[in-house]
Structures are given as structure tokens and as C-alpha cells.
Structure 1
């Protein structure tokens, strides 16, 4: 069924160019407010793409927690002369706050852009677009394996944990209980990962993956006129940002 969503239906490389523009622009425009604003732009795009919940969970639980930690550390330990607050050997300087704002705004902008890309772009679509660009099937398979290994291991670990629960192994409770349950979970996880790697290698050989012939695919994605228009607009915006920065 054809995708109807205005964001999800864009060609993968079009979405990648948009994300790269967001990430690059925060280094062109040295203003922490602009960097933080990129997050809200990504949030708006996530809402249009109907992935607001997934995007917000990943950014708030992971990205924001890291940014707050970096902000606190940089505020206290970045050298400066204008002291805003001081207690014992701890001191917050204006230079530290300014540096922390600039650094965390870039982290949030780049991080939220990457998270958005992988929320609105299926991995198989991204890999297909790379093959269309001329990347070899072996290289695209490496990209595919890298992007899917963590979700697959997470799914496998959850299955193993549920299986261990049915066998009477305690997996929830205090820290010591969780540590004791770690070994019964890690061992099957490693063994299953090795087995799945061997099965995948045999499946690729059966499909002629190593044959030096042009590969064909029944799965395809078509570019539209909207993709071309958006690409041109992204290029124009990037040029304007560079000209504006040089003029300043």
C-alpha cells in the first residue's frame, strides 16, 4: 500500500539531506538558541510523520539526560573569570555557562536530527537508496547489519529473559538479583547471536550474494517531483546560510 504521509513518503536520501542540513546549520550559525530550535523543528516533523512518541522517548530519556550532565560539568569546570556562583572549590563561571549552552545545543540539534531520521526512514529503504547511488551490496549489507544488530539483540534478550522467568530464574529485584540473572541471560544471547550469524551467512550464499553479477530487487522506491523540489530548497537554504555567515 502506498504511503500517504507527507514525511514518510519522501525518498530516503531526501530525508538524509534534510537531516544533514539541520546538523550542519548549527555549526554555521553560532547561536545556542538556533541549536535548541532545531529540536523543536525535528519534533514538528516527527508529529507530521506520526512518530512523536518514539522520537520524544528517545530524545528525552537519552539525549536530554546526556546534555544535562554535560551542561553541569562544563558549567562547573570550564575555566573563566566571571564567577556567577561559588562554593568551596566549585564555581560556575559565565564562560562555562556560555560554552555549555553552545555545546549542548549542538549535541541536541545533531542528536535529535539523527534520531528523527531513523524514526521516519525504514532501514530497508535507506539501504535500498544507497544501492541505487552505487554502493556495493556488500557495503550496504554491512550498513544494514550495523543498524539492525542492536534492535535484534534487544529483542532476543527480551525473549531469553522471558524464557528464564518461566524456568524460575529471578530477573527482577535488587541489584544483586539482577547481576545473578545476567549470566543465564548473556550465555544464550551470545550463542544465539553466533548461530544466527552462521544461518545468515548460509542464506546469503544460497541467494548468490557473492556472485559478481548485477543484483536485482523486487523492492523499489521511486523519487517524485516533490523530492526534487525539496532538494533544491535545501541547497538554496544551505547556500543562504553560508553567504549570511561569510557576510557577518
Structure 2
């Protein structure tokens, strides 16, 4: 990532408002062309921020299969009269294809917006921004720990797999070999997760996390000129789209 990249230097809430604006706008504009355009904007921003490879990988892994299944379900089972293709009791209808494209591209736009958000925003920065606007420290900790639990468990599982591999356990091969190698890591993974939870509880208690006094932090987030302009622009665009939807 580029250190002086303007996208990366935006305030976390500005990036979050962008993702939220895309989510709202694809429901206002019921067009798969618009949803695809929103995905294209996310891709351009990912390219601009230097995270395009990780962004596309995450979109493909997280949304690819879901979008295909969703589109096929709507194409074959959505009610309609204009049959395009038929195989036995299954019939693909034009109405189903249209609705399937709208639903699939809508999920693609929303998912890609939030995948981009987490690719260009540190979780710590996002939680600190929420705390700055009034989220209680307990709530901030819950959000932070929830967002970090899967990456932490993935990292811990890799460490355990490396340890098992060092002991001569076969961890690579076909699905059956990998399944057998995965089972022995479950116990140490669960135990290490419990131990880390206890360590966090002790750390929080030692830092007087549960006291009623006002919390202070050495870590500060600052807003630039764009962080004041862009949220207003997002609202104006959404209002314009909504007016266009009502009048159109």
C-alpha cells in the first residue's frame, strides 16, 4: 500500500459512509447495470489504493459461488411466462433472468463495497472512529474482538499446522489427508483460543477497563478536507437518486 495514498488516508467513517451509500443506492436504483457500475467503482478504487489483487480474490472466494447459485435459482424458479430454455421440468424464463441479474449484481455491489472497506481500513482505526462518535468502550471492544476472531483463529491454525508438519504429520495431499490432518489441530486451537480470551480479560482488568471514569487514548484519528466534503456528497447523491426514483 502507498503511504500517501489519498484513499488510504481517508477517515474510517468516510470509507464506511461510502460503503453504506452504495448499499442504500442499489436498493433505490433497481438496475443491474447500476449495480455493476458500483462494482466497477469499487474495483477502480481498489486499484487506486493498490489492493486490487486481494480485493478480487476476496470477492471471488466470498461471493462467487453464492452469486451463481442465486442467479440460477431465480432464473429457473422465478415466476414468468417468457420461457427461453427448458430441460425437463426446469424452465429458464426471461423474467427470472432479469430478476436474478438484479439480485446477483446487487449483492455483488454491496459485498464488494464492504470487502473494499475492510481492505483499505484497519480494524483498529474503524473501532476507534466508532468510539470517537460515542460508542461505549465495552461496545468498541465487542466489535473489535468480533472482527478479529476469525483472522486470529486462522493465524493460530497456521501455527499449529506448521508445528504438526514439523512433527512429521502429513498435512498436504487429497481431501481425505487434509481432513485427517485438520482433526488433530482442533483441540489445541480451541484451548489456545480459550487461553487467549483469559489473557485478554486479565489485560483489560489490569488497564481498568471496567471503571466508570472517562477513558483517554494516545491514539488519535484526524479528518482532512475530503472527510468533511464526501459524506455530504454521499447524502446529496442518495437524495438525488431517491427523487429520481419517485419522479421516474
TM-score band by shorter chain is over 0.9
Q: Distance in 1 between matches of 2:28 and 2:245?
A: 7
Any idea what the Cα deviations from partners look like across 1:91-124, whole Å, max 9, x if unmatched? 1111111110111011101100110111111001
SS in 2 for 1:85: strand
Conserved 8 A contact 1:46-1:116: yes
Aligned twin of 1:65: 65
- Residue in structure 2 matched with residue 212 of structure 1 by the alignment: 212
The one-character-per-residue Cα deviations of 1:53-85 (angstroms, maximum 9, x if unpaired) are 111110122212321121122212222221100
Task: Quote how far apart the aligned CAs of 1:174 are.
Answer: 2.3
Corresponding residue of 1:31:
31
In structure 2, distance between residues paired with 1:171 and 1:155: 16
Distance 2:244 2:100 in 1: 25
| Residue range with higher mean Cα deviation, 140-149 or 232-241 | 232-241
Gaps of 5+ in 2: none
Q: How far apart are the structure 2 equivalents of 1:88 and 1:245?
A: 40
Moved more, 166-175 or 117-126: 166-175
The CA RMSD over aligned residues, in Å, is: 1.3
Partner of 2:126: 126
> How many angstroms apart in 2 are the aligned matches of 1:66 and 1:183?
27
Q: Deviations over 1:192-225 (max 9, x none)?
A: 0000000110011011101111111111111122
* Cα distance, 1:3 vs structure 2: 4.5
- SS class of match (2:9): coil
The answer for the alignment partner of 1:203 in structure 2 is 203
What is the deviation of 1:48? 1.4
TM-score of the superposed pair, with normalisation by structure 1: 0.96
Match of 1:150 in 2: 150
Unaligned runs of 5+ in 1: none
The count of residues paired between Structure 1 and Structure 2 equals 247
1:97 equivalenced with 2:100 (yes/no): no
Pick which of 174-183 and 119-128 moved more: 174-183
The residue that corresponds to 2:15 in the other structure is: 15
TM-score when normalising by structure 2 = 0.96
CA distance in 2, matches of 1:29, 1:4: 34
Corresponding position of 1:112: 112
- Secondary structure of the structure 2 residue equivalent to 1:45: helix
